[in-house]
Chains A and B, each alone.
Chain A
Amino acid sequence: MEQRTPTLRGVAWLWFGLSTAVLAIGFRQAIFLVPTDAAQGNVGRIFYYHVPIAMLSLIFPYINFAASLFYLYWRRRDPLKALTADALALTTAEVTVVYSSICLLTGMLWGRATWGIWWTWDPRLTSMLLLWLLYVSYLMLRRFSSTGQTHTLAAVLSVFAAVDVPIVYMSIRWWRTQHPAPVFGGGPDSGVDPSMLPAFYWNLAGWTLWGICIVLFRFALERRRQLAEQEAALQAIEASLEIPQ
């Protein structure tokens, strides 16, 4: 079995500390330093959490997609590498579910405060919910399929789910929506006041670091599970060979 080296462990703790520190700075920026929003008051500060997390929950599916494609490519050529890719795919799918849940929940809180309703079947919200449903169904498939073919089937489903992610992103331009137009890169009127940018970037950096942190921890865990499984299989084979004829 792979041994966790002290250096690797040190780097992991350093990463954890760094992401916590950046999140703390981001919290200070967003809650205390940024001027209060003229239209929304203090409620507007949820922007610094909702938007970075929404952006990240659209990025992790791509990693999941890429890992699944690598899995499908290596499946016959190099099964051990394929298993690593599969562990990464599983991990990012779980983190996607976590991040998009947080995105949906903070969005609901924000919607209740500014629009007066918890939820509206606006296309953007619907597509986010859809993304969440897709990755929950991905995790369900992994749970239901019989052992041995889980990886392949999950990778195939991930390709299907990834095709939906661009639809989520484009939907804001395709359909007229209640959700505000894209704040970044959405045309001449988009963009935020420069005073809001530091808080936004600190939080974006913080949640990215934190996301990578939990991905790596979960990945290490899944790798250990896989290696333990291989070890058990190997021992079973060896034991069966030792039975005297």
Chain B
Amino acid sequence: MLRYSINRIIWFIPTLLAMAAVTFLIMSVTPGSPFDPSAGNGVNPETIANLERLYGLDRPLPERFGKYVWNAVHGDFGVSYHSRPQTVKDIIGRTFPVSLQLGAMATVFAVVIGMTLGTLAAVNQNGWLDYFSVTLAILFYSMPNFVMGFVLILFFVVWLPNHGIDLGLPVGGWGGPRDWILPMIALGAAPLATLARYTRSSMIEVIRSDFVRTARAKGLTENGVVVKHVLKNALVPVVTLIGPIFAAVGTGSFFVEQVFNIPGMGKFFVTSMQVQDQTMILAVVLLYGVFLAAMNLAVDLIYGLIDPRIRY
């Protein structure tokens, strides 16, 4: 297990380097720079040349890339070209916690509700609860998160108040708990659906197995069977979903943060894209890469821990 993890981590280094190289290359061939007069305040060409020299943009590409990697390894991701003199680290340090909070809430929401729905559906197979959760899962699953966000806004912020039921939910912002509810649902809906679907089919498979029949035969109560035998075994394959769910929540936040006007990293990233803030874009892409890879590794290791049949 230790060897496996070390192996995975070592393999990750070239992947990350290649990822950085691909992004760096794309960014360097992308026309326009944050110092273009069109992007900012009409600075003269001499100033632009000076700025480019200051940030080393006049150096050859391999040298720039080497320097970038060297600095990044030392925790220095440079200055945001657009929001000088703020450093990329400052901006990410300010916006990432917001995204992390939103992402964590959405994940918890998806896991709790999704697994509950899946379990209830499996236990009451072909009952109304089953049909309800399956229908809900399909609806949530096929709805892109930003569309989901607007559906929620149209329903809770426009339609309900117009019909006399005002829950006091705002269109957007990130001030207090009231602002958190709709983005959390919008971002968590798709993962919730995936989880509910998998939990349901996994549970149904376990319910049909021999050891469950044995457990019933020896006189355990229905709740005892479900909690002790079915749930425990059915959750094992569901754990593998947590990796993809983090990925979905991570990239989903770009749009959900835009929809609800949340000052997180996703919204900032979209802005960076529009103003060609290369250092910001590069850092965000790398951060996502590291984050997702770490999550996937963690999931694989957890999987090995809870399922003794798996050996690395």
Q: Is the A/B pair a real complex?
A: no
